[in-house]
Amino acid sequence: MVQSNANDVAGYLAEVPEARKDALTRLRTLCQTELAGFDEVMAYGMPVYQRDGVAEIAFASQKQYISFYLMRSDVRAAFAERLAGQDMGKGCLRFRRPETIDFDLLRDLLKATATRPGQIC
């Protein structure tokens, strides 16, 4: 599943492969907990967390991996050392297997994002 036509995140999670469902549900719960004041919406065929209409965080079940999108360049810069060993594109972390997701790192990235608005890449 690269892009979903689900109307909401619950519908999105119902579509994901069973092997990824627990990890993605945990990721959603983490986003809901740490991103107080953000709106959870479906955009670009994936769950997105936006503040004042601006997307700052998203995640997706891609064909070969789970993606965690961090659209804040200031947060990426602040976590450069911890992100150095990760499989990362310009704005996304890729986890090839659900069991390799570093939820502690993601929690810290979410907390830093929630602290204040910043530069979107």
Q: What is the pTM of this model?
A: 0.93
Q: For 29-85, how does the pLDDT look when each residue is reduced to its tens digit (9 = 90+)?
A: 999 999 999 999 999 899 999 999 999 999 999 999 999 999 999 999 999 999 998
pLDDT band at 2 (very low <50, low <70, confident <90, very high): low
Q: Where are the domains of the chain?
A: 9-115
User: Does 3.90.1150.200 match the CATH number of domain 9-115?
Assistant: yes
- How far is Cα 69 from Cα 81, in angstroms, rounded to an integer? 18
